[in-house]
Amino acid sequence: MRGVVVFLALVAAAPVLGHETPSSQTAQAPVHNPLDCYCRAQGRMFAVGEKVCLKTAEGPKLAQCQMEVNVMSWTITEVPCPDS
């Protein structure tokens, strides 16, 4: 299922085939600002370094939002979630 979501996101972000840039304009790749990247969980967005409690097979664990290579992901820690 995750692969289907990634595929659909790539298809939606792909430029329209046959669309050409006029020769008077130079095409420039957009500059990516890593500060604009977020992790998502529980219907919210979290910035790099933020922590949240996520459900795992071993029970709720504290997870931290990090950038791995060039993809935002959650790093699950061994720390159990604090009791509320």
Taking only the tens place, the pLDDT of each residue in 62-76 is 999 999 888 899 999
Alpha carbon distance 83, 80 (integer Å):
9
The count of domains in the chain is 1
For the range 33-40, what are the long-range contacts, defined as Cβ-Cβ under 8 Å and sequence gap of 24 or more?
A: 34/67, 37/67, 37/72, 38/65, 38/72, 39/65, 39/66, 39/72, 39/73, 39/74
In a domain, 11, yes or no: no
Taking only the tens place, the pLDDT of each residue in 28-64 is 656 656 567 889 998 998 988 999 999 989 889 999 9
In a domain, 55, yes or no: yes
In a domain, 58, yes or no: yes
Is there a contact between 33 and 48 (Cβ–Cβ < 8 Å)?
no
In a domain, 13, yes or no: no
Is there a contact between 47 and 40 (Cβ–Cβ < 8 Å)?
no
